[in-house]
Amino acid sequence: MIIPFIQWTVWSSWEQIGERFLGGAGVAATSRDRKILDLFAVEGDGQMYTLQWTKEERWSKNPLPREIQGFPTGAQVTATARTEQHMDLFVCDSDGNVKTLGWSSLAGWTDWELIGRQFLTETEIATIVPNENTLEIFACRPNGQIYNQLDCKLGFGLEAHPELDIRRRKF
């Protein structure tokens, strides 16, 4: 006799965490390990903020460092973790430029870097991390074409030139 196994999924109730963001703000989340959770969102002042949860400190809200960012209200943030020691953020600014910011446990936050143009301000960036040395991003331009860009770490502090790694695919 075969006894069927039934698995039930039970969702918890919605719970307010940390501080508040602008109503309806897009939130990106990444977890570098089981002890740390990072959330990112753009506030009404155009600055990107992070809420970080750790077992020891619980929730803390901090602005990301560096120059005035000026992202549009409602900008879609994408966050990904390559390893426990490295995170990457992606967002389109008010001119439709794709910008990225990285964090590492050794160096902290990098400066914002422009890596693409000619997108809409509300463009969502999708990412995959095939391995800790490779990150691939995807975005759709206003003409409906999906573009991608590959970032490869070659080791010894060298990086591939992004302009050589861009592969365009039309869907």
Domain ranges of the chain: 28-126
Residue 19: the pLDDT is 66
Is it the case that residue 67 has pLDDT exceeding 70?
Answer: no
Q: Which letter does DSSP use for residue 13 in this model?
A: P
Residue 167: the pLDDT is 46
d(CA 134, CA 82): 8
Nearest to 31, CA basis, from 4, 13, 52 = 52
Residue type, position 69, single letter: Q
For the segment 23-36, the average pLDDT, to the nearest whole number, is: 83
For the segment 14-32, the average pLDDT, to the nearest whole number, is: 76
Element spanning 19, H or E: none
Is it the case that residue 4 has pLDDT exceeding 90?
Answer: no
- pLDDT, tens digit, 9 for 90 and up, residues 120-166: 888 889 999 988 888 999 999 888 889 888 888 755 443 444 443 33
Is it the case that residue 55 has pLDDT exceeding 60?
Answer: yes
Nearest to 115, CA basis, from 139, 144, 80 = 139
Which of 3 and 29 is assigned the larger pLDDT? 29
d(CA 66, CA 110): 8
- pLDDT, tens digit, 9 for 90 and up, residues 87-124: 999 999 889 899 998 888 899 888 889 998 889 888 88
Residue 6: the pLDDT is 65
d(CA 110, CA 100): 9
- Label the pairing between strands 58-63 and 167-169: unpaired
d(CA 26, CA 22): 9
Give the residue carrying structure tokens 């991390």: 129
Burial of 48 (0-12, 13-18, 19+ CB in 10 A): buried
Residue 2: the pLDDT is 67
Residue 80: the pLDDT is 93
Backbone angles phi, psi at 24, to 5 degrees: 80, 5
Q: Given pLDDT bands bounded at 50, 70 and 90, which one contains residue 25? A: confident
Give the residue carrying structure tokens 């770490």: 153
Residue type, position 147, single letter: Y
Residue 54: the pLDDT is 82
On whether the pTM is more than 0.95, the answer is no
Residue 75: the pLDDT is 85
Give the residue carrying structure tokens 């902290």: 108
